[in-house]
Amino acid sequence: MEIINFTPYSALLGGALIGLSAAVLLLFKGRIAGISGIAGGVILPEKGDIPWRILFLVGLVVGGVLYQLLGISPGVESIQPVTGKVGLILAGLLVGIGSALGTGCTSGHGICGLARRSFRSLVATLIFMLTAMITVFIVRHLVGGA
C-alpha cells in the first residue's frame, strides 16, 4: 500500500480543530458534536434550536472551501465519485439509516463519545471500523473496485 499526500501537520491541526469545536459546542451549548444529530435537528427540530445547527453545518462546508481556496490543501484538485447518482443517493440513505440505528455517527460516537469514555460509543466505533474494513475488502478484492 502506498500513502499518497501524507500530511501529518495538517492532519494534526485538523484533528485539534475538530476537538476544539466539539469541546466549545459541549461547553457553551451542552450539545454533542455529532453531525448526523445536528443535521437531523435541522430536518426535524425538537427545541427550536435551528440557527446554531445551520451555522455548524455551514461552517463545515465553508471550512473545506476556505482550506482549498487558501491553497493549503495537499494537492487535491477534484474528487470524482466511482458510482453514479443512484449509488450516491443509496449510500447516503444507508449512512442515514445506520446513524439512526446506531443512535449517532462516527463524529458523535468516535470523537465525542470516546472522549467521554462512553462504552456504548466504544462499541459503536468498533462496529463502524469493522464495517469499513469489510466494505473495503469486498470492494477491492471481491467486486474489483479501485
Q: What is the pTM of this model?
A: 0.70
C-alpha cell at 15: 484533528
60-84 pLDDT, tens digit per residue, is 889 878 877 887 655 556 667 778 8
pLDDT: is 101 or 30 the higher one? Answer: 30
Q: What is the pLDDT of residue 9?
A: 83
By the 8 A CB rule, do 52 and 41 touch? no
What does the mean pLDDT of the chain come to? 82
Angle at alpha carbon of residue 22, lines to 106 and 26, rounded to 5°: 115
In three-state secondary structure terms, 135 is: helix
